[in-house]
């Protein structure tokens, strides 16, 4: 059959979905109506289109009737678009010649009592889908090659797990770690909850394993400088800091450190201990080599000091070389996994607890190092002020967490690690009195509640109350904790010799820079943002880049390890193929229309600057060009191009304008035309339907991938065609953060809509008739309320006022549209 | 509207309710409250809980709302940025409306309404002022003061003071 | 002195009517740095947070707005020696400036007396001027009689510090300015526990026992730390710790014997004035303090 010969033969299939649709809408009549539409060759209704018989029906019609476009009126495309695309392609039809009309989530489920008006809406939605279908063109998925190699950034337990899994599957893996050794936070812990395994004992073998594998390239003391490219084809540039020690020659004898005259606070010991300028971070470090910290070294000038090199030469290893320089390494990978872990909030910022001022107030990690037998005190708990053994220790939870002044979120693992530290302390010092001040005890996972009980059985006391302040007795350096004990209902004070703070986990320093390097996003708290909070916790919105471990949010070790394996699996999906297919709903610049092509002097860079994915480039005096493999398909550049030179496949201006025309065909002044972004607002509208929130049936939806796609022309055309109200809705954009699936499409949408609103007001159209809202996928209730609200507003205007305003603006709109859009169809729109 | 109704209206008003809903009863307010440490009955956290749970009558009829020293430690430290001491002021206003005001405060209020000063100048102070070469205290423009007070619900106004002392309001 | 500045002086009821020696001391100190204090005419109580704000917020707003508008007319910022007045006026000023409905309410009330709040002036306290505008160095240069050996326990009080986003005097958990002002005189600031504890003064007319119990906590801690005296910056705190100290002792059958000095009193002593000249009246005898710093009465 001829797929490219134009709109020709459309098949329309109306699904009953049992009673989900048929219970409210008259599906038979709807199918009959569809058959009256131009270019519709056949229209049928059926109980369950997505089931085998329904699909078989479509395939049969394609083959026997020579259909070249298919429309299914049923549930939301977010549900079954992939199903039907597969179905038509099995019958030999290009999957992009398929369109859906959402008459369930957007109609039958949310307008159960609207009777005729619901049927009218369904007819309009079907007509709109058919109109778009007429303009669909076949598209081929874009094939890109795949470098079958992965990059993992961050060598903590989560990153290590990802590396080992990928290596086992058979892929080469680069592991880039900023510190001199891998191991991350877990290497700093003493024991892990709830099993009280020795942390470095269980981690150590994994670290060694990483270093022994022939297909793993460990780049420690290194950082990712630059990443170019796209899924399957990332070009990575890594800077390796000079060790000044040749790892292949260093045998970690430690003679150099013995003679080094410089002592600086030891980061690994969280500042509790010292290290030399030449050092190895901890005994089990991998790689096992010493490193010379050039920032603390006396100057790398042999005249100033060369004690370490002399000692090393004398020992025979001759590994030290002061002339080492940073090294640049470049390589290509198919996927990138980010596992950069967490830092802890600086507790001195929480002034009421006196950290940094009172010597005996410590942080959880400092205590962890103290308890550790290999730590700075050899495993003894001593008071920093006088070195004595304490008799009573108080722990304070939620320091900086669940606190709008610092971090609003719950830091996840502190309840458990405090119980663990308390249990360890009590085990070493049975007479030690321990009080834990908590707000809630969150002991959710396997064995955790039992562990909490064990702590209580050991005599550890739990007091519910968030302390208001810690005050120091200047004569003894003891601390007094002032809190309410809610369990007795009284305010109380408790004197302790040490106070330990559990402060909030925060994103690692350098996360910001990394997100810019990789073009991935962070959430409102600064942790790396997953593509979908429920179903895609490992993917990012950038194809080929995955996140795992605490970089994505605070979590305990089992969760981090699981995510590490998950990231490996997600990466392997791509790496295991020679070629990776990319959805072709990408942007494309017309070389003829692009001003840079028409006028060599034009320096227009608008599309280039709008693209958050750096997918558009232009040579000097050449038209702009979209790299389809990097293009994520938001359509923002399409809407922003002032010369209408860019189009988005499967969401062309023509297609969308034809949808608008159908949706506003009948009594447009009574309608609300809504442009909803696929990831958030359209999903939110779906949710409203799924939750059966009722709202007025006079809203007509147009699906776009991103609110950034909503062209001014669409909005002006809508008013020119007589629309009552227009809504543009996208992912949430607030002061706290931006949820846009395409990073910043909604920012451009906002600018565009707000400036157009002013222009429209100047033409006589009330500003309230053009609404800009942010509705997330979880806000079904909000969507329903919004439509109700808009409908109320529309009714107060009344149809005649709407018509009056639209008429007043018409001439201006026509003029503006004639100017910017070459398409005659819009200009000769309805009267 | 009676004071209880007003408190209900305030508590159920959307933006207030949302702000107060942030309270997860951590107790930091009570933990740092100078009054709570010497008088266990006085517990700001419990007062907030009472409002969240709708136990309005109890709060307004108790003397406890008058014990807040306005030190603002609670407001400073609340992890949900709830203005606890500010809320106490609201509660006091509403308690005053329903006639629940400590006698000495009412007297002071009356003095302010009548003279514009919270405390009268003592004889000793007059002597001291002279000895220290301080100019006499500048007189209050009582007319302006009273014109403003009259336009408010300030119970220091003589008739209102009486009715407040009796436990009735006008 | 080069620094020439004029402020509208708002002493507040307690300072003018009960402890005018505070006014005198503040005036002396500010005068030494060329600060001129202009009398405000017709002002009333700031108004007082317990008997006015507690009874009716609208009355509080109206009276505060009236006082602020008097300064606006004079075109001077307000300077007050009393932290209570500072807190009231500064809070009302901020509220009227930034909250449109409060401003409307305030101006509605002011219109009854032909006044308007425009939001044109700021509110300062003696300490904010001393610390931020004059500076410790200049103050140090006026010290003629260093108070060496004096172990002073500073009490900041609450209303200069909180709510911190309104009062703007820095960190309320571990403030430094009063300790610095004390140390500039040559005295030593003694660390003690519960330094930021409220004096409890505001509720003394509501429940004396509770009020005293709160004050007692601090007196015990200062005694424990071995302070020679308490230094306060607020008339209400002064009354609570000094005037009421004997009553507190009686209530709890304890002795504290902690003299209470006022911060500008301390500065005046360091500047070389005699005790009688400064003219403070103390309930708790200050003889031991004067002995230690070698200053005579007359």
The ranges of chain A with pLDDT < 70 are 1-7, 736-737, 819-831
| Domain final residue pick, B97, B114, B130 | B97
Specify whether B48 is located in the same domain as B92.
yes
Angle at A677 between CA A672 and CA A680, to 5 degrees: 110
Contact A155, A182 (CB under 8 A): yes
Residue A109 in domain:
yes
Element at A55 (helix H, strand E): helix A52-65
Count of CB pairs separated by less than 8 Å, A with B: 71
Residue A60 in domain:
yes
Residue A575 in domain:
yes
Tell me the sheet residues that pair with A648.
Answer: A587
Environment class of B130 (CB within 10 Å of its CB; exposed 0-12, middle 13-18, buried 19+): exposed
CA distances from C37 to A692, C7, C80, C90 (A): 70, 5, 10, 18
CA distance C244 to C221: 17
Specify whether A67 is located in the same domain as A156.
no
Specify whether B11 is located in the same domain as B67.
yes
| b (16+ CB within 10 A) / e for C254-292 | eebebbbbbbbbbbbbbbebebeebbbebbbebeebbeb
Specify whether B44 is located in the same domain as B121.
no
DSSP state, residue A96? G
The phi-psi region of residue A270 (left if phi > 0; otherwise alpha if psi is between -120 and 50; otherwise beta) is left
Specify whether A23 is located in the same domain as A35.
yes
Range of the domain at A831: 651-831
| Domain final residue pick, A91, A109, A141 | A141
Residue A248 in domain:
no
Give chain C's radius of gyration (CA, Å): 19
Contact A412, A527 (CB under 8 A): no
Q: Which residues of A touch B27 (CB under 8 A)?
A: 439, 464-466, 483-484, 486
Interface test with C, best of A352, A354, A469, A474 (most C CBs within 10 A): A474
Specify whether A133 is located in the same domain as A24.
yes
Residue A646 in domain:
no
Closest CA to A6 of A87, A94, A100, A69: A69
Specify whether A657 is located in the same domain as A702.
yes
Q: Which residues of B touch A482 (CB under 8 A)?
A: 31-32, 37
Specify whether B24 is located in the same domain as B86.
yes
**Could C191 and A474 be called an inter-chain contact, meaning their C-beta atoms sit closer than 8 Å?**
yes
Total structural domains within chain B: 2
Specify whether A129 is located in the same domain as A156.
no
Supply the pLDDT for residue B82. Answer: 96
| Domain final residue pick, A579, A598, A620 | A579
CB neighbours of C199 closer than 8 A, spacing ≥ 6? C155, C157, C158, C214, C215, C218, C232, C234, C236, C237, C240, C241
The phi-psi region of residue B93 (left if phi > 0; otherwise alpha if psi is between -120 and 50; otherwise beta) is alpha
Supply the pLDDT for residue A735. Answer: 73
Of B135, B142, B156, the CB nearest to C39: B135
| Lookup result for tokens 């070469």 | B133
Of C171, C192, C195, the CB nearest to A351: C171
Total structural domains within chain A: 6
pTM of the predicted model over 0.90: no
CA distance C258 to C276: 20
Supply the pLDDT for residue A174. Answer: 98
| Domain final residue pick, B73, B97, B121 | B97
Specify whether A602 is located in the same domain as A745.
no
Angle at A630 between CA A624 and CA A631, to 5 degrees: 70
**Could C173 and A473 be called an inter-chain contact, meaning their C-beta atoms sit closer than 8 Å?**
no
Could you tell me if C90 lies within 8 Å of chain B, comparing CB atoms? no
Interface of B with A in 26-65 (CB under 8 A): 26-33, 36-37, 40, 43, 45-46
Supply the pLDDT for residue B160. Answer: 56
Specify whether A7 is located in the same domain as A116.
yes
| Domain final residue pick, A296, A325, A354 | A325
pLDDT, tens digit, 9 for 90 and up, residues C208-253: 999 999 999 999 999 999 999 999 999 999 999 999 999 999 999 9
Interface test with A, best of B21, B22, B23, B28 (most A CBs within 10 A): B28
Residue A657 in domain:
yes
pLDDT, tens digit, 9 for 90 and up, residues C170-200: 999 999 999 999 999 999 999 999 999 999 9
Specify whether B88 is located in the same domain as B107.
no
Of C49, C56, C206, the CB nearest to B96: C56
Per-residue confidence at C295, pLDDT binned at 50, 70, 90?
confident
pLDDT, tens digit, 9 for 90 and up, residues B108-162: 999 999 999 999 998 889 999 999 999 999 899 999 999 999 998 787 665 555 5
Supply the pLDDT for residue A1. Answer: 39
Residue A307 in domain:
yes
Q: What is the CATH number of the domain that holds B39?
A: 1.10.1060.10
Could you tell me if C173 lies within 8 Å of chain A, comparing CB atoms? yes
Of C23, C41, C57, the CB nearest to B89: C57
| Lookup result for tokens 């791509």 | A574
Q: What is the CATH number of the domain that holds A417?
A: 3.50.50.60
Specify whether B144 is located in the same domain as B91.
no
Range of the domain at B111: 103-166
| Lookup result for tokens 């550890």 | A460
| Domain final residue pick, B45, B75, B97 | B97
CA distance B79 to B84: 11
Interface test with B, best of C20, C163, C216 (most B CBs within 10 A): C20
Of B90, B121, B149, the CB nearest to C17: B121
DSSP result, A99-114:
EEEE-IIIIITT-TT-
What residue ranges define each of the domains in chain C, with the CATH number in brackets?
Answer: 5-126 (1.20.1050.140), 143-293 (3.40.50.11810)
Per-residue tokens: A82: 């992939």
Could you tell me if A807 lies within 8 Å of chain C, comparing CB atoms? no
Q: What are the two backbone dihedrals, phi and then psi, of residue C114, each rounded to the nearest 5 degrees?
A: 65, 30
| Lookup result for tokens 């390239």 | A217
| Lookup result for tokens 């007297």 | B107
CB neighbours of A414 closer than 8 A, spacing ≥ 6? A364, A397, A398, A401, A502
Specify whether A31 is located in the same domain as A63.
yes
- Relative to beta strand A361-363, strand A498-503 is parallel
CA distance A58 to C126: 86
Specify whether A719 is located in the same domain as A819.
yes
- Give residue A338's Cα distance to chain centre: 12
- Greater confidence (C154 vs C3) lies with C154
Specify whether A551 is located in the same domain as A591.
no
Supply the pLDDT for residue A535. Answer: 84
Specify whether B60 is located in the same domain as B130.
no
pLDDT, tens digit, 9 for 90 and up, residues B68-106: 999 999 999 999 999 999 999 999 999 988 888 998 998
Specify whether A80 is located in the same domain as A197.
no
Contact A347, A354 (CB under 8 A): no
DSSP state, residue C190? P
Residue A527 in domain:
yes
Specify whether A527 is located in the same domain as A565.
yes
CB neighbours of A609 closer than 8 A, spacing ≥ 6? none
Specify whether B58 is located in the same domain as B122.
no
Contact A687, A141 (CB under 8 A): no
């Amino acid at each position: 059959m001829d797929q490219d010969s134009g709109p020709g033969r459309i098949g329309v299939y109306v699904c009953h979905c049992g009673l989900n649709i048929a219970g409210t809408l008259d599906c038979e009549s709807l199918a009959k109506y569809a058959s009256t539409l131009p270019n519709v060759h056949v229209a049928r209704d059926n109980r369950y289109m997505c089931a085998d018989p329904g699909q078989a029906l479509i395939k049969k019609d394609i083959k026997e009737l020579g259909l070249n476009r298919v429309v299914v009126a049923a549930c939301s495309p977010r549900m079954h678009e992939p199903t039907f695309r597969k179905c038509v392609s099995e019958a030999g039809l290009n999957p992009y010649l398929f369109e859906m009309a959402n008459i369930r989530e957007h109609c039958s489920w949310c307008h159960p009592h609207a009777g005729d008006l619901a049927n009218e809406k369904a007819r309009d939605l079907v007509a709109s889908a058919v109109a778009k279908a007429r303009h669909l063109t076949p598209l081929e998925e874009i094939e890109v090659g795949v470098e079958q190699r992965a990059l993992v950034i961050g060598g903590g337990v989560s990153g290590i797990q990802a590396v080992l899994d990928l290596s086992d599957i058979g892929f080469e893996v680069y592991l880039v770690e900023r510190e001199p050794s891998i191991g991350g936070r877990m290497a700093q812990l003493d024991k892990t909850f709830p099993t009280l395994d020795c942390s470095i004992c269980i981690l150590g073998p994994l670290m060694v394993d990483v270093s022994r594998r022939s297909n793993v390239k460990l780049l420690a003391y290194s950082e990712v400088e630059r990443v170019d490219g796209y899924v399957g084809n990332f070009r990575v540039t890594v800077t390796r800091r000079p060790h000044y020690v040749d790892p292949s020659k260093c045998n970690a004898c430690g003679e150099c450190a013995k003679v080094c005259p410089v002592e600086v606070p030891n980061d690994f010991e969280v500042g509790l201990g010292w290290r030399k300028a030449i050092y190895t971070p901890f005994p089990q470090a991998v790689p096992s080599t010493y490193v010379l910290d050039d920032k603390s070294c006396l100057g790398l000038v042999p005249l100033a000091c060369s004690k370490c090199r002399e000692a090393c030469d004398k020992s025979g290893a001759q590994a030290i070389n002061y002339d080492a320089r940073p090294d640049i390494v470049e390589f290509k990978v198919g996927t990138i996994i980010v596992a950069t872990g967490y830092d802890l909030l600086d507790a001195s910022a929480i002034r009421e607890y006196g950290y940094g001022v009172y010597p005996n107030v410590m942080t959880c990690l400092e205590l962890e190092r103290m308890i550790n037998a290999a730590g700075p005190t050899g495993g003894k708990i001593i008071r920093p002020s006088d070195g004595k053994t304490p008799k009573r220790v108080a722990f304070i939870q939620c320091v900086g967490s669940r606190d709008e002044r610092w971090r609003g979120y719950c830091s996840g693992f502190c309840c458990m690690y405090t119980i663990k530290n308390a249990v360890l302390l009590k085990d070493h010092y049975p007479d030690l009195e321990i009080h834990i001040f908590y707000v809630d005890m969150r002991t959710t996972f396997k064995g955790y509640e039992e562990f909490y009980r064990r702590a209580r059985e050991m005599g550890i006391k739990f007091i519910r109350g968030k302390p208001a302040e810690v005050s120091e007795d200047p004569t003894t350096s003891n601390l007094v904790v002032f809190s309410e004990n809610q369990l007795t209902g009284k305010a109380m004070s408790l004197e302790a010799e040490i106070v330990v703070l559990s402060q909030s986990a925060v994103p690692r320093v350098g996360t910001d820079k990394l997100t810019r390097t990789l073009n991935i996003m962070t959430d409102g708290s600064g942790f790396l943002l997953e593509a979908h909070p429920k179903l895609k916790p490992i993917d990012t919105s950038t194809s080929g880049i995955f996140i795992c471990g605490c970089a994505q949010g605070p979590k305990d070790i089992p969760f981090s390890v699981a995510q590490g394996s998950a990231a490996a699996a997600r990466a392997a999906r791509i790496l295991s193929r020679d070629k990776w297919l990319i959805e072709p709903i990408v942007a494309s610049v017309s070389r003829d229309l692009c001003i840079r092509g028409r006028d060599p002097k034009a320096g227009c860079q608008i599309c280039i600057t709008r693209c958050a994915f750096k997918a558009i480039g232009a040579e000097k005096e050449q038209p702009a060009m979209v790299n389809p493999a990097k293009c994520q398909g938001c359509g923002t550049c399409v809407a922003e191009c002032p010369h209408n030179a860019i189009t988005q496949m499967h969401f062309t201006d023509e297609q969308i304008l034809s949808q608008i025309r159908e949706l506003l065909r009948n009594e447009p002044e009574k309608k609300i035309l809504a442009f909803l972004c696929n990831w958030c607002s359209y999903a939110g509208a779906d949710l409203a339907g799924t939750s059966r929130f009722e709202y007025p049936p006079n809203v007509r939806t147009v699906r776009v991938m991103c609110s950034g796609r909503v062209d001014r022309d669409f909005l002006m055309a809508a008013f020119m065609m007589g629309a009552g109200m227009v809504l543009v809705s996208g992912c949430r954009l607030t002061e706290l953060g931006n949820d846009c699936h395409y990073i910043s499409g909604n920012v451009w949408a906002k600018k565009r809509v707000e400036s157009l609103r002013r222009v429209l007001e100047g033409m006589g159209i009330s500003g309230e008739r053009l609404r800009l809202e942010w509705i997330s996928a979880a806000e079904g209730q909000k969507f329903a309320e919004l439509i109700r609200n808009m409908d109320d507003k529309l009714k107060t205007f009344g149809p005649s006022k709407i018509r009056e305003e639209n008429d007043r603006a018409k001439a201006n709109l026509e003029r503006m549209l004639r100017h910017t859009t070459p398409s005659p169809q819009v200009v000769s729109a309805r009267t | 509207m009676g004071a209880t109704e007003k408190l209900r209206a305030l508590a159920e008003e959307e933006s207030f309710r949302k702000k107060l809903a942030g309270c997860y009863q951590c107790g930091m307010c009570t933990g740092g409250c100078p009054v709570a440490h010497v008088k266990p009955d006085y517990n700001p956290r419990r007062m907030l809980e009472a409002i969240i749970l709708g136990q309005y009558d109890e709060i307004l009829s108790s003397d406890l709302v008058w014990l807040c020293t306005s030190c603002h430690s609670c407001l400073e430290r609340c992890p949900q940025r709830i203005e606890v001491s500010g809320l106490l002021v609201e509660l006091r206003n509403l308690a005053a409306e329903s006639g629940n005001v400590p006698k000495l405060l009412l007297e002071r209020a009356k003095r302010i309404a009548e003279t514009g000063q919270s405390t009268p100048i003592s004889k000793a102070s007059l002597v001291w002022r002279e000895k220290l070469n301080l100019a006499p205290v500048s007189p209050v423009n009582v007319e302006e003061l009273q014109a403003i007070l009259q336009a408010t619900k300030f119970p220091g106004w003589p008739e209102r003071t009486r009715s407040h002392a009796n436990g009735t309001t006008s | 002195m080069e620094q020439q500045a004029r402020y509208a002086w708002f002493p507040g009821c307690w300072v003018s009517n009960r402890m005018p020696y505070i006014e005198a001391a503040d005036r002396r100190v500010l005068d030494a740095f060329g600060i001129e204090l202009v009398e405000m005419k017709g002002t009333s109580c700031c108004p007082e947070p317990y008997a006015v704000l507690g009874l009716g917020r609208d009355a509080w707003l109206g009276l505060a707005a009236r006082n602020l508008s008097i300064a606006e007319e004079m075109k001077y910022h307000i300077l007050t020696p009393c932290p209570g007045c500072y807190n009231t006026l500064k809070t009302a000023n901020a509220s009227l400036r930034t909250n449109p409905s409060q401003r409307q309410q305030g101006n509605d009330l002011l219109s009854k007396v032909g006044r308007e709040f425009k939001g044109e002036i700021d509110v300062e306290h003696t300490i904010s001027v001393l610390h931020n505008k004059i500076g410790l160095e200049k103050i140090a240069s006026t010290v003629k009689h260093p108070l060496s050996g004096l172990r002073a326990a500073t009490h900041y009080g609450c209303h200069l510090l909180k709510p911190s986003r309104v009062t703007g005097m820095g960190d309320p958990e571990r403030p430094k300015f009063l300790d610095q002002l004390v140390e500039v005189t040559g005295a030593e600031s003694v660390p003690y526990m519960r330094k930021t504890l409220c004096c409890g003064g505001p509720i003394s007319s509501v429940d004396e026992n509770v009020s005293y119990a709160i004050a007692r906590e601090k007196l015990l801690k200062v005694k424990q730390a071995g302070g020679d005296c308490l230094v306060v910056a607020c008339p209400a705190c002064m009354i609570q710790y000094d005037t009421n100290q004997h009553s507190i002792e009686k209530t709890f059958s304890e002795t504290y014997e902690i003299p209470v000095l006022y911060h500008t009193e301390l500065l005046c002593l360091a500047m070389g004035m005699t005790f009688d000249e400064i003219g403070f009246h103390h309930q708790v005898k200050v003889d031991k303090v004067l002995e230690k710093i070698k200053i005579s009465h007359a």
